[in-house]
Structure 1
Amino acid sequence: MHFSVLIADMNLEDYLGFNQHIKKYTSDITINYSTNSKEVLFNLENKNLLVLNTNISNYEQITQRCKQLNIAILLICENERSKKDYDYLLSPVDYDELYFKLENYNSLHVKDIQIKKEQELSSSIINNINNPLFLTDGENVIFSNQYFNQLTSCQNEDEINGKYIKISNIFENENECIQKGDDSWLEKTEKEDNKVCIIYEGAKKYFTIQKIYLAHNHTNIILLNDISHEIKYKNDLFNLLYTDNLTSLPNRAKLIDSLQQNKLNLDAISIFDINSFKEINDFFGHRIGDDILKGVGELIYSCIKDYKQLSLYKFPADTYCITNTNLEQDKFLEIVQNISEEIYKKVFYYEQYEIDVRITAGISFSNKNNKLITADIALQSAKKDHKDYLVFYDELDKFQEYENNMLWSKKLKTAFNNDKIVVFYQPLINNKTMKVDKYECLVRLIDEDGKVISPFFFLDISKKSNQYTKLTKIVIEKSFKKFSDLPFEFSVNISYEDIEDPDFLDFIKEKIKKYNVSNKVVFEILEDENVKNYELLINFVDEIKALGCKVAIDDFGSGYSNFEHLLKMNVDYLKIDASLIKNIAVDENSFKITKTIVEFAKNLNLKTIAEFVENEEIFNITKELGTDFSQGYYFSAPIAEPNLYEFTGENNE
Structure 2
Amino acid sequence: MDTNNLSSPLPEPSLSGPLFATLSAGCLLAVLFAALLLSFYQAQRGEHLQTYQLIQQQQQRQFEQLIIHFRQQSQRELQSLSQGVVKSATLAVDIEWLERWWTQRARTMLLAVELVDAQGNTRWRQGMETRFEQQPWFDNLADNQSFSATANCDESRCVELSRFAIYDGTQYLGEIRAHRDLTPLLTDLAHSDQLKLGILSTELDQPEVWQVNFHTPHHLSQQLSKTQLMPLADRTLLQQLQLQPRALASITGDAHVWSLIEFPDHYASHLYLIARHQPLPMASQLSTRFIKYGIVCAIVCALLMAIVWLISIRLSRRIHRYVEIPQLLVQGKYHQFREQLAQLSNPRLMSNFKEIDDSLQALSYQLEAVGNAVDVRNQEMERLSLFDSLTGLPNRHLLQYEIQKDLRELRQHQRENIVAIVLLDLDNFKRINDSIGHQLGDQILEQMGQRLKGAVRNLGIVSRLGGDEFVILLRSVKRVDQLQSLCQKILQLVNKPLIVENTTLVISCSIGVSVASVSDTYNDLLKHAEIAMYKAKDSGGSYYRLFNAEMASEIDFNLSMEGEIRRGFDEQEFTLYLQPKVSMDGVIKGFESLVRWDHPERGVLPPGEFIPAMENMGFISRLDNWILEASCRQLKVLEPHYPDISIAVNISSTHFTDHAFLTFLQKCLKKYPISPNKLELEITETLLMENMSAGREVIDKIKQLGVRIAIDDFGTGYSSLSYLKKLPVDTLKIDREFIKDIPDSESDMQISSVIIFLAKQLHFSVVAEGVETSEQLVFLKASQCDLAQGYYFSKPIPAHKAILMLESERIDLSHRKIS
TM-score of the superposition, structure 1-length normalised? 0.40
* Bigger radius of gyration among the two: 2
* Larger relative helix fraction: 2
TM-score of the superposition, structure 2-length normalised? 0.33
